[in-house]
Structure 1
Amino acid sequence: MGVKQLTLVRVLAVLVVAFGIVYIGWRWTASVPWSAWFIAVPLLLAETYSFGESLLYALTMWNSKRRPTAPIAPEGRTVDVFIATYNEPLAMVMTTAIAARDMTYPHETWILDDGDRPEFRRAAELLGIGYITRGPEWEGRQRFAKAGNVNNALFATSGEFIAIFDADQVPQPRFLNRVLGYFVDDEIAFVQTPQQFWNVDSRDPLGSHADLFYGPIQQGKDGWGAAFFCGSNAILRREALMALGLTRFARAAQGRMRSALRAGRSRLTDLLSELAVRDPAGMPAVEDALAAMGHADAQYRTGDVLSEITWQLRTSFHQAVLSHDDVSAAVISELDAVLELVEVARTDQALAIQPLDTSTITEDMATAMHLHAMGWSSAYHHEVLVHGLAPEDAGTMLTQRKRWAAGSMQVFFSDNPLFMRGLTLGQRLMYFGTMTSYLNGFAALVYIAAPIVFLTLGIYPLKASALTFLLYFVPFFACCQIFFQVAGRRSRGLWRGQQMSFALFPTWIGATVSGFAATFFGKHLAFSVTSKTKNQVGTDYRAVAPQLVVMGLLLIASAIGIYRCAIGDAPVAATVLTLVWVVIDFLLLGVVIGAARYRGPGSDITDPNPPTEELTSALAIVEHETSFPRTPAAER
């Protein structure tokens, strides 16, 4: 944004914070009916949370950064372009692959086929595109979805930079030329560009347009040195990714070594006690091994190389056995088992080093956060250079949003940015703000429940007159709305974004619970690939059933409230104010009806990337060979 707009945004941000402090201060000190604590306290907490989110948004916009044009892409850099796919249609993936192959800057293009499909391999061969799938080392081991797919490809390629595209994200020929120039700064780890969707009509009933995020919000985060990596339409520096993988491996190995040394000493101590009764001849060897464990522990504490510690420990155990001729096979087996505990190399995974974060299903955000914590920088390039596909039905949209939210909350609970070493204060708050936004589901539930409780039971959650409440609330609310509009100027879908943030409260609550369970109870979070084809035909109200039930309850409560007011059992001013509240809830929740009825883009929207003659020919050959398998050369 320009200087004038940024100045206005900062003035409005100050007003939002000032009016917010006045309003929340009044709410906490003078307006809580403690006799109705069961609804008054949750409402107060929800409003405090909303103020906190407004404050974080104001902070994000305060430092909004519109970067100048990137430097000219340097010549001679090597780039690997990855197109990640699992179950997407062949034609879609190859359309993206051809566009990626034809980007003007010299590079290598690779299809990362996690479905290991022969027809994809053959089509890639015909189109002159590289093909990578997982090898036998992955069999029987955790695959880590997209993160594992990309990590596998990183060890099969060697380019200095990695461009990543989802299977439906078709890049323009100039993509690399426009973005590579940022990497003349050796501290830049990745550059993110916007995600834009061509199959969304002007109504955008599913809230697919993310112009606010891929614009003011990303520019704000960029101003604080925290532009996000979003999984696609980005370029990353291989050196940064590999450094991150090595660092995480070393930290994990240190943690395993610390636990293993403790467990090993305990196991040997127990063994020594047992041998005193059943096999005293084996005790000297175990005592020597226990002494070696003590020495290894001392080495670990002084920071010796872990591989050196394990090598010396293995040598000491071997000498302990050789020094005593009468050591039984059972004792030797126990000593071998202890040695296995302290082996630092990972044997339970296909790759010892995982450059992209594999601890969450939102590997993009987690990877970016750890890169920033290591001291790497990032950049957001505000230019649409890629066009992709958005979900075309409510069910698919909700599945996609829940995956994003659940993964973010998993990171929130396991790697909370507020406590992560290496991040600046601004970076901590930028990540924290994104993660806590999904807690809005609980706040929305309270904003729905409070008017229902008053209209049906007559329990008012405020200890103040309607006029007093409005005097405190309206300035804060009005400033928030004005600030939101000014900060997001030229961004489409501002109102739709507010609706979705509120109306998807069941999704946000479910995702938060899933993230909590994954972190503290080890529950598995499945990586759900977003379907690129419509899953439902016609209206599908089942996907939004909770919202429809809530809307029904609001209608019933409104009728009861009007009746109670008419017979004099409820104050008129409070009832009117609550009914206005209900109307706002309906305006926000009503988006789900349009989402459930959505049937995809109309005929006026055409595919900007129709199949080329080259693609059509390749697909025909693949289809023919699939129907009539080629005869092996040895049989001809």
Structure 2
Amino acid sequence: MSRRLLLIRVIVVLTAVLGVNYVLWRWLFSVHWSAWWIAVPLVVAETYSLIDSLLFGMTMWRLKERGEPPAPPEDATVDVFITTYNEPIELVMRTARAAQAISYPHTTWILDDGNRDDLRAVAEAEGIGVINRSGDWTPDRPRHAKAGNLNNALLATEGEFLLILDADQVPKPEILDRTLGWFRDDQMALVQTPQWFENVPDDDPLGSQAPLFYGPIQQGKDGWNAAFFCGSNAVIRREALMMLGVTRYAGEVEIGVHRALRTAKRVLARARKELGPDDETARRALDLVGYEIGRARREIARGIALADVTYRFQRRMDDVRRTLVDADLQALQADLAEIAAMEQQADAQGGTGLATIDETTLEHMASRDWSPLGAVETVSALVSAVDVDRGEEAQPVMPLATISVTEDMATCMRLHGLGWRTAYHDEVLAHGLAPEDLPTMLTQRLRWAQGTMQVLFRENPLAQRRLRWSQRLMYFATMWSYLSGFAALVYLAAPILYLAVGVLPVQAYGPDFFIRLVPFLIVNQLLFVVVAAGRPTWRGQQYSLALFPTWIKAFTSAFGNVFLRRDLDFAVTPKTRPASTGPAWHLVRPQLWAMGALAGAAVIGAVRYAVGQATLVGWSLNTLWVIFDLAIFSIIIRAARYRGFEPDLEEDHDRL
């Protein structure tokens, strides 16, 4: 164990002990119950922050620095996928030309979801392949955005490994030489490298570089075999993806069949109630269906191939339907014979056919069940329920996850669930383009957060039995962090309420409070400093609080999409700088209101302290809290005014 890792573990233990001690004391002894409406939310928010701190500490506990990779295999086949939809052709071709220049033997493909003839012409003229969606992706079937684009290309190519690049991620020539060596481990499914952006100034006003995530956090997750797939700059083993696709297909179909067969018993019970006492044929047919349902469930439990079970079940249902149809024909023939006899009787009596038949006889015929329609419809519904062709999808097998607007996290979590390993190679091997204005950045962050929340709601990692508990917690830690928007509301409200109207959410700001809180805060920040090892982390801390409206919107919109079937309001991140239209203040109106409220509370608090309505300790502490919050939110002003990266021409000239 290195000295750095030993130091990190010591600080993690101290942070955990001090944090648990503080929060337990807060719950047991210091909640100001007379102001419960702010006191309880505050202690809940502090508990949230403690859990966040504990998850971060656990991540850092096994921080893994891999060092030099093994030599790459000599004969591996590689497909380089460049995903694009509507990005400028020159931007896409810049990445494609760099991909073509990768030193390790490979084939370069542009996956053009925009189906542009002009891009195809330019690419093929330079010997670069272009893949569009196959004809199976008809307009009435979901396209699944980037995940669908990649899934389509997987079935059109054959390389053992895939290097996935976004349209703006320009790879270095050595990217495959530096990553393929990790796949000498036969269980290695994915190697992720950092995303680094060349159009970001040193002060990074939009917080694009994420040096803490693309560094210690990914290294920590790597130590628990939970390094994430981040959508680009990653190499993936095709075998792992295809195994995942087939396994998921089989699993989802089996779940669907089990669900259909369970539902079928209730459907049959309702259908039997609708039958009359004379519907003996339909009753026997439904009894036969019930028997076949039980037999299908027993066959599945014995491990018989699902396709064989459903095929035999469907054939038996065809026999049942023929039986019902034959019964209907016999009943119809009997009715026709009865009608003919009545007509003959009427003619013999000198009448005019049906017009002279007794009204009671006609009423009896009208009310008769001409066909056991309910039973027929039930049988048809059962046949459809166990249909396994997945005709609503363009491809029955979907290796890349389609349950989220971001395909990466869910796909990687599923790979880990199958027992595959992943690695994080901490070396910048591609240069990308980051958002260059606030609207574009907010679009990007919202999409990331929405995708993460969709995965949480649909496949909560804590409930994934195939994952080890450490892996479940590593995935959950990232999802948990996006709930910070709700805690931020409380952290904003508490000092404002005290300074403005004197509402105290704790029993008192006495020695017990400071003795427990201050050491925890100091040690917690010390952990960030040691873990970062010189990497800037302040910008990330600012945006984790300053983007609270984005995180809340991501949670509510994803919840509405998953549980209420509402459309998800999201957009793909633009890759070009928009025309200058001035600061987009309307996009950060909640933050501006929060800053105004903080500043106003500080002024009111000073007046209240001056006239003796606030204690020195309470006023000082909450004023410092307000100043800290304003320092956090100050980045929003800079972000709104930021108009894009202006490169240093002299520096670029020296670099060339």
Match for residue 341 of structure 2? none
Match for residue 297 of structure 2? 297
Match for residue 190 of structure 2? 190
Say if 1:588 and 1:513 are closer, same or farther in 2 by CA, change over 3 A. same
Match for residue 633 of structure 1? none
What letter corresponds to residue 505 of structure 1 in structure 2?
F
| Offset at residue 605 of structure 1 (A) | 6.0
Contact 1:281/1:327, CA 8 A, preserved across alignment: no
Say if 1:333 and 1:452 are closer, same or farther in 2 by CA, change over 3 A. closer
Match for residue 446 of structure 2? 402
Partners of 1:511 and 1:335 in 2: how far apart? 43
Partners of 1:316 and 1:444 in 2: how far apart? 60
3-state SS in 1 of match to 2:312: helix
Partners of 2:295 and 2:14 in 1: how far apart? 62
What letter corresponds to residue 253 of structure 1 in structure 2?
V
| Offset at residue 263 of structure 1 (A) | 3.4
3-state SS in 2 of match to 1:276: coil
Q: Give runs of aligned pairs for residues 211-226 of structure 1, distance below 5 A.
A: 211-226=211-226
| Offset at residue 270 of structure 1 (A) | 4.1
Q: Give runs of aligned pairs for residues 266-305 of structure 1, distance below 5 A.
A: 266-276=266-276, 280-305=280-305
Match for residue 77 of structure 2? 78
Say if 1:523 and 1:280 are closer, same or farther in 2 by CA, change over 3 A. same
| Offset at residue 233 of structure 1 (A) | 0.1
3-state SS in 1 of match to 2:63: coil
| Offset at residue 274 of structure 1 (A) | 4.1
3-state SS in 1 of match to 2:43: helix
Partners of 1:278 and 1:396 in 2: how far apart? 69
3-state SS in 1 of match to 2:189: strand
TM-score, structure 1 length as denominator? Answer: 0.92
Please identify, of 53-62 and 520-529, the stretch whose mean Cα deviation from structure 2 is larger.
520-529
3-state SS in 2 of match to 1:259: helix
Partners of 1:34 and 1:92 in 2: how far apart? 59
* Aligned-pair Cα RMSD in Å: 2.1
Partners of 1:607 and 1:410 in 2: how far apart? 43
Match for residue 143 of structure 1? 143
Match for residue 60 of structure 1? 59
* Aligned partner of 2:543 among 500, 505, 529: 500
What letter corresponds to residue 104 of structure 2 in structure 1?
Y
Partners of 1:102 and 1:376 in 2: how far apart? 30
Larger Cα-atom Rg:
2
Q: Give runs of aligned pairs for residues 197-276 of structure 1, distance below 5 A.
A: 197-276=197-276
Partners of 1:425 and 1:289 in 2: how far apart? 43
| Offset at residue 332 of structure 1 (A) | 5.9
| Offset at residue 333 of structure 1 (A) | 6.5
Q: Give runs of aligned pairs for residues 40-119 of structure 1, distance below 5 A.
A: 40-119=39-118
Partners of 1:309 and 1:131 in 2: how far apart? 41
Partners of 1:535 and 1:6 in 2: how far apart? 44
Match for residue 21 of structure 2? 22
Match for residue 382 of structure 2? 338
Contact 2:321/2:379, CA 8 A, preserved across alignment: no
Match for residue 613 of structure 1? none
Contact 1:199/1:607, CA 8 A, preserved across alignment: no
| Offset at residue 310 of structure 1 (A) | 1.5
Match for residue 412 of structure 1? 456
| Offset at residue 490 of structure 1 (A) | 2.6
Match for residue 173 of structure 1? 173
| Offset at residue 23 of structure 1 (A) | 1.6
Contact 2:231/2:408, CA 8 A, preserved across alignment: yes
Contact 2:285/2:320, CA 8 A, preserved across alignment: yes
Q: Does 2:517 align with 1:476?
A: no
Q: Does 2:570 align with 1:520?
A: no
| Unpaired runs of at least 5, structure 2 | 330-370
Contact 2:591/2:636, CA 8 A, preserved across alignment: yes
What letter corresponds to residue 339 of structure 1 in structure 2?
V
3-state SS in 2 of match to 1:84: strand
Q: Does 2:425 align with 1:424?
A: no
Which whole-Å deviations, capped at 9, do the CAs of 1:186-240 have from their partners, x for residues lacking one? 1001000000000001111000111111111111110111111100000111111
Contact 2:92/2:167, CA 8 A, preserved across alignment: yes
Contact 2:12/2:61, CA 8 A, preserved across alignment: yes
Partners of 1:115 and 1:389 in 2: how far apart? 20
Which whole-Å deviations, capped at 9, do the CAs of 1:544-566 have from their partners, x for residues lacking one? 11101100011111111111111
Contact 1:198/1:607, CA 8 A, preserved across alignment: no
3-state SS in 1 of match to 2:178: helix
TM-score, structure 2 length as denominator? Answer: 0.89
Match for residue 597 of structure 1? 641
Q: Does 2:606 align with 1:562?
A: yes
Which whole-Å deviations, capped at 9, do the CAs of 1:429-470 have from their partners, x for residues lacking one? 111111100111111111100011111111111112354422
Please identify, of 303-312 and 579-588, the stretch whose mean Cα deviation from structure 2 is larger.
303-312
| Offset at residue 382 of structure 1 (A) | 0.9
Please identify, of 77-86 and 332-341, the stretch whose mean Cα deviation from structure 2 is larger.
332-341
Say if 1:607 and 1:175 are closer, same or farther in 2 by CA, change over 3 A. farther
Partners of 1:262 and 1:10 in 2: how far apart? 50
| Offset at residue 275 of structure 1 (A) | 4.8
Match for residue 577 of structure 1? 621
Please identify, of 255-264 and 578-587, the stretch whose mean Cα deviation from structure 2 is larger.
255-264
Say if 1:276 and 1:457 are closer, same or farther in 2 by CA, change over 3 A. same
Match for residue 364 of structure 2? none
Contact 2:446/2:554, CA 8 A, preserved across alignment: yes
3-state SS in 2 of match to 1:190: strand
Partners of 2:327 and 2:24 in 1: how far apart? 78
Contact 1:405/1:511, CA 8 A, preserved across alignment: yes
Contact 1:145/1:527, CA 8 A, preserved across alignment: no
Contact 2:403/2:458, CA 8 A, preserved across alignment: no
3-state SS in 1 of match to 2:176: helix
| Offset at residue 267 of structure 1 (A) | 3.7
Partners of 1:265 and 1:466 in 2: how far apart? 65
Contact 2:483/2:552, CA 8 A, preserved across alignment: yes
| Offset at residue 511 of structure 1 (A) | 0.9
* Aligned partner of 1:356 among 400, 404, 407: 400
Say if 1:606 and 1:519 are closer, same or farther in 2 by CA, change over 3 A. farther
Partners of 1:159 and 1:396 in 2: how far apart? 35
What letter corresponds to residue 326 of structure 1 in structure 2?
A
Say if 1:607 and 1:369 are closer, same or farther in 2 by CA, change over 3 A. farther
Match for residue 577 of structure 2? 534
What letter corresponds to residue 169 of structure 1 in structure 2?
Q
Partners of 2:144 and 2:651 in 1: how far apart? 32
Say if 1:104 and 1:580 are closer, same or farther in 2 by CA, change over 3 A. same
3-state SS in 2 of match to 1:138: coil
Match for residue 327 of structure 2? 326
Which whole-Å deviations, capped at 9, do the CAs of 1:488-546 have from their partners, x for residues lacking one? 0131x311111111111111111111222222222233552111112352322222111
What letter corresponds to residue 407 of structure 2 in structure 1?
E
Q: Give runs of aligned pairs for residues 598-617 of structure 1, distance below 5 A.
A: 598-604=642-648
Would you say how many aligned residue pairs link Structure 1 and Structure 2?
607
What letter corresponds to residue 546 of structure 1 in structure 2?
P
Which whole-Å deviations, capped at 9, do the CAs of 1:31-86 have from their partners, x for residues lacking one? 11111111111111111111111111111111111113111111111111110001
Please identify, of 21-30 and 395-404, the stretch whose mean Cα deviation from structure 2 is larger.
21-30
Partners of 2:462 and 2:385 in 1: how far apart? 33
| Offset at residue 266 of structure 1 (A) | 3.8
What letter corresponds to residue 204 of structure 1 in structure 2?
D
3-state SS in 2 of match to 1:52: helix
What letter corresponds to residue 72 of structure 2 in structure 1?
A
Match for residue 629 of structure 1? none
3-state SS in 2 of match to 1:137: coil
| Offset at residue 249 of structure 1 (A) | 1.0
What letter corresponds to residue 417 of structure 1 in structure 2?
P
| Offset at residue 28 of structure 1 (A) | 1.7
Match for residue 375 of structure 1? 419
Partners of 2:227 and 2:84 in 1: how far apart? 25
What letter corresponds to residue 262 of structure 1 in structure 2?
R
Partners of 1:425 and 1:605 in 2: how far apart? 51
| Offset at residue 271 of structure 1 (A) | 4.1
